[in-house]
Amino acid sequence: MKVAIVGLGLMGGSLAISLKKLDFISTVVGSDHNKIHQQEAMTLGLVDKIVEFEDVKNYDVIFLVIPVDGIIAALENLRDIKKSTTIIDLGSTKTKIIDSVPQSIRENFVAAHPMTGTENFGPTAAVENLYTDKAVVICDLEHSGEAQADIAKKIFSALKMKKYFMSAKSHDRHAAFISHMPHAISYSLANTVMNQENKHNILALAAGGFRSMSRLAKSSANMWEDIFRQNRENLLEAITLFENELSILKGHIENENWEEVHKNIEAGNRLHDILD
């Protein structure tokens, strides 16, 4: 099986590392509009070679690991692929992508979102085992061709990912709460502190709590602007509900209602009964 990866940043580069280890995949090539990314990917040995976007049509499996708007544009340019080709996108929002897939290649297409990543980006951020033991959400699989669905499941299983299946609409709402809102909060936290504290105080006093919560603020502005735009309605709902929760806690602190503050904290503690 020959694989082409469009987009050689953190996610695409890490995917290439893992795919090259699978015995049923003979070739992994990459395509990226960024010349520096091309050079870095080759220097790091992430892919066997760099190809032009037009050439990815000659491969059995095409992974689209680029921002959502780029995925939609790429799909328009893949209308003439072979009937046997499998296209798998790894975009962070799903509804708009799925709605934009040309009907002539809908059966070729599998919509997926690996729930993994780091705050770093670019080919130099690629790491081994980024996908291992992580969840991957596969959306609206009933509209994909049987062969394409089987190939996608085979690859994700070989990567040792935990597969979950749901509708694109459900995915986007859940992702707004679990992934997109935390990024929005991290950016806002970073900006709040930067606007109040000088850099020397930040360096001297920032401990584990602040570093953990602000880590996501390193994430790519280009990518996350795109995600926020594509999932705007769900994100706004999530932010509003978060603001409501923060307002409740603020009110208890203002009123020195420490018993309610304690209950609020304990309620939050229960999250880790699920996560741990």
DSSP state of 26: -
Residues 30 and 134 in one domain: yes
Last residue of a domain, one of 125, 148, 166: 166
Are 114 and 209 found together in one domain?
Answer: no
| The last residue of a domain, from among 166, 200, 228 | 166
Whole-structure pTM value: 0.83
Burial state string for 52-76 with b = 16 or more CB within 10 A and e = fewer than 16: eeeebbebbbbbbbbbbebbbebbe
| CATH number for position 117 | 3.40.50.720
Start-to-end CA span in the chain (Å): 38
- The predicted pLDDT at position 203 comes to 66
Domain around 49 = 2-166
Whether residues 149 and 52 share a domain: the answer is yes
**Closest Cα partner for 112 from 90, 85, 81?**
90
Place of tokens 């939609």: 72
- Sequential pLDDT tens for the chain (276 residues): 999 999 998 999 999 999 999 999 999 999 999 999 999 999 999 999 999 999 999 999 999 999 888 999 999 999 999 999 999 999 989 999 999 999 999 999 999 999 887 767 789 888 889 999 999 999 999 999 999 999 999 999 999 999 999 999 999 999 999 889 999 999 998 888 888 767 777 766 766 777 778 888 888 888 888 889 989 999 999 999 999 999 999 999 999 999 999 999 999 988 877 766
The domain that holds 204 is classified in CATH as 1.10.3660.10
Q: Could you tell me if 193 and 254 lie in one domain? A: yes
Q: 266 and 148 share a domain? A: no
Q: Are residues 162 and 229 in the same domain?
A: no
Let me know: does 112 contact 137? Beta carbons within 8 Å. Answer: yes
- Two tokens at 102? 């040309």
Considering only CA atoms, which of 249, 245, 276 is closest in space to residue 262? 249
The rounded distance, in Å, linking the Cα atoms of 202 and 101 is 46
21 and 43 co-located in one domain: yes
Smallest CA-to-CA distance from 220 within 9, 5, 7 is with 9
Separation of alpha carbons 65 and 73, rounded Å: 13
> Is-contact 231 176, C-beta < 8 A?
yes
CA atoms within 13 A on the CB side of 73: 9
Tell me what pLDDT residue 273 has: 78
128: Cβ contacts below 8 Å, ≥ 6 apart: 14, 17, 18
In contact, 1 and 26? CB cutoff 8 Å:
yes
- The answer to whether residues 28 and 19 touch, using CB atoms and an 8 Å cutoff, is yes
The pLDDT of residue 131: 94
Indicate whether 181 and 160 sit together in one domain.
no
Model pLDDT, residue 247: 96
SS3 assignment, position 39: helix
30, 135: one domain: yes
- Domain check: are 263 and 150 in the same one? no
CA dihedral (28, 31, 32, 33) in degrees, to 10, reads 170
The verdict on 177 and 208 lying in the same domain is yes
Q: How many domains does the chain fold into?
A: 2
> Which domain-ending residue is among 166, 182, 203?
166
**Are 57 and 123 in a shared domain?**
yes
